[in-house]
Structure formats: C-alpha cells, structure tokens
Amino acid sequence: MMRISKLRHRQKGLSSIGWIAIAGIFGLLVITFFKVFPMYYDNFKVKTALEGVQTDTDVDAKSKRAIWDSLSKRLYINEVRNIRRENVTMERKDGKTTVTVSYEAQDDYIANLFIGARFTESVVIDR
C-alpha cells in the first residue's frame, strides 16, 4: 500500500517533452489560422462585391462590360487583387444574368509547403 501512494505523489503533470509537444501543436494551429483566415476574408469580400453588383440598379444587367466594370471597381476598393477577368463568367438566360466568380487562392505555409483553397461564388441578377 505504501508503494502505490508514493507513485501517485510523484506523477504531478506533464513532462517538459509533453509541454514542448503541446506548444508545437498549438504553434502549428496558430500558423495555420493566420495563413487560412486571409483567404476566407478575401472570399467574403468577393461575395460582398457580387452582392453589391446584384443590388446596384445603375448596372445594366445585359452588358457584360458594365457588370465587369462594376465588379472590378468593388474588388479594387476592397483590395482584392487576385481576381482577373478570366475568373468571372456571365451567362444570360430567361431574362436573368448569372455572374460566377471561380478562383484559387494559395499561400506559403512552412518551408516549401503551401496552403490552397478553391472558391466559387455566384449571384443572379434578375432585371
């Protein structure tokens, strides 16, 4: 009985290797968050720009040029620089214009590894 109680009193938490492992895992999670968050924040800004084009009554829904000009201005104001004209498709059918933005975002992660994401956002302009 004496021997078991002595063993219980010696085990009082993590070893230094355990703490280093936990700190390393937490560090990787923090790095991942700071690399992934800007991608999703830019996607939120793209979605907001598309919704702005959708609700703007000054934009001619039949003109691809007018839609692109309005969208590119909104993206420029929101500092989204990775969307090009080839990432945007516009399709007119039954009096509705569907504007779709499809693009990929990637960023360096650690050393020669990178993190990437593929986004597709779409709105329908009904005018």
Tokens 């420029």, residue?
76
- Whether 75 contacts 82, CB under 8 Å: no
pTM of the model: 0.81
Cα–Cα distance list, 73 to 23, 30, 38, 105 (Å): 44, 33, 20, 20
Q: What is the mean pLDDT of residues 105-114?
A: 93
Residue % of the chain over a pLDDT of 70: 91
Closest CA to 56 of 9, 48, 90, 8: 48
Supply 126's token pair.
């009904």
Asked whether residue 64 carries a pLDDT value surpassing 60, the answer given is yes
